[in-house]
Amino acid sequence: MPELPEVEVVRSGLAPAVTGAMIAGVTVLDERALTRHPGPAAGFEARLTGRTVQAAGRRGKFLWLALEPEGDTSAPATEAVVGHLGMSGQLLLRPAGAAPERHERIRLDIHHPVHGELAIVFADQRTFGSLAIDELIPTPDAAPGGHGWGEASVPRQVSHIARDPLDPAFSDTRLRSLLARKDSAIKRVLLDQTVVSGVGNIYADEALWAARIHPETPAKALSTRAVNRLLAEIRAVLEKALAEGGTSFDAQYVNVNGQAGYFAHSLNAYGRTGQPCPRCGRPIVRVSFMNRSSHYCPRCQRMRMPRPLRAA
């Protein structure tokens, strides 16, 4: 599943082409791509046609296109088109009238005052992704809703998603407090998008390896120093992945121009079962975890358990 870097690469690629663009036409080819939209395809098409996009925003693995209010372009946006890529979704920029993409589900024809006629294509092989029109609601902390969106609002469908570690409004103190109360394995907590967003299986393995923390270590067993080290490594691995365009193992995870990222060449733990740890040389091991896999070095990432309480 695409994680923060892959989704942010898509958002940042869309932003220049969609900001200020008018949606001239909408074509829904497969209603399965509207599973999160409250209404029929015809309503989705009608409500978007003629609207102007204010900005492209993102929180965690969700992105959205904020829409200018109908009839009052000076008012703040109250609605947005929310996108979730699911397992294999793609948002691609194509020239106007371009041939249909393989697995194309929805097409937005847009007119930009500078870039002219373009098409935004939502393609999805496995059909777990979706687009939906959703209302924007205030953020509880009064900070901007997400990357690329400066207003203190967020789509209702995204409101339960925590901020990500690269968000300027992310609270290290809040995360430390949450971890101190959780018995769950630290990797399980990192994958909980209501605690910290944007981190999936790949980048959790990479950050834990870099921080020398065993993925099954209870979250509350981590010292303040260990949590700070982990946060620093999460940020470092996400920033490096962003710089390299994300991680692509196949043709599904691409930017808006269909180009793959190169972070897969920089992985230290994920997907390297049996290969030597880049730090100590011991083979990386793979274990089952939440219907997926964890990859770690048994020498560098040793288990740490909470100290037992002394008897009174």
| Nearest-angstrom CA–CA distance, 242 and 4 | 9
pLDDT of residue 265: 65
Does 147 belong to an annotated binding site? no
Residues of the chain with pLDDT under 70: 1, 73, 246-265, 305-312
Query: CB–CB of 275/262 below 8 Å?
Result: no
Distances (CA, A) of 160 to 59, 126, 193, 197: 10, 25, 8, 10
Class of domain 172-296: mainly alpha
Exactly one of 282, 292, 299, 302 is catalytic; which is it? 292
Of the residues 2, 5, 155, 215, only one is catalytic, namely: 2
Ordered DSSP codes for the chain: ---HHHHHHHHHHHHHHHTT-EEEEEEES-GGGGTTSSS-HHHHHHHHTT-BEEEEEEETTEEEEEEPPTT-TTSPP-EEEEEE-TTTEEEEEEETTPPPPTTEEEEEEEEETTTEEEEEEEEESSS--EEEEEEEEE-TT-S-SBBTB-SSEEEGGGTTSPPPTTSTT--HHHHHHHHTT--SBHHHHHT-TTTS-S--HHHHHHHHHHHT--TTSBGGGS-HHHHHHHHHHHHHHHHHHHHTT---SSSSSB-TTSPBP-GGGG-SSTT-TTSBPTTT-PBPEEEEETTEEEEE-TTTS----PPPPPP-
Does the domain at 4-158 match CATH 3.20.190.10? Answer given as: yes
**Type of residue found at 123:** A
Catalytic annotation on 220? no
**pLDDT tens across 211-231, in order?**
999 999 999 999 999 999 999
pLDDT for position 261: 46
- 220 labelled binding-site residue: no
Among 47, 51, 58, 61, the one annotated catalytic: 61
Which member of 3, 6, 206, 233 is catalytic? 3
Our answer to whether residue 3 is catalytic in this structure is: yes
Q: What is residue 242's predicted lDDT score, i.e. its pLDDT?
A: 87
pTM of the model: 0.89
Predicted local distance difference test score (pLDDT) of residue 264? 64
- Looking at the chain, which residues constitute the CATH 1.10.8.50 domain(s)? 172-296
Ligand-binding site membership of 240 (annotated):
no
Q: Which ranges in the chain are annotated with CATH 3.20.190.10?
A: 4-158
pLDDT tens column, 143-171: 999 999 999 999 999 999 999 999 999 99
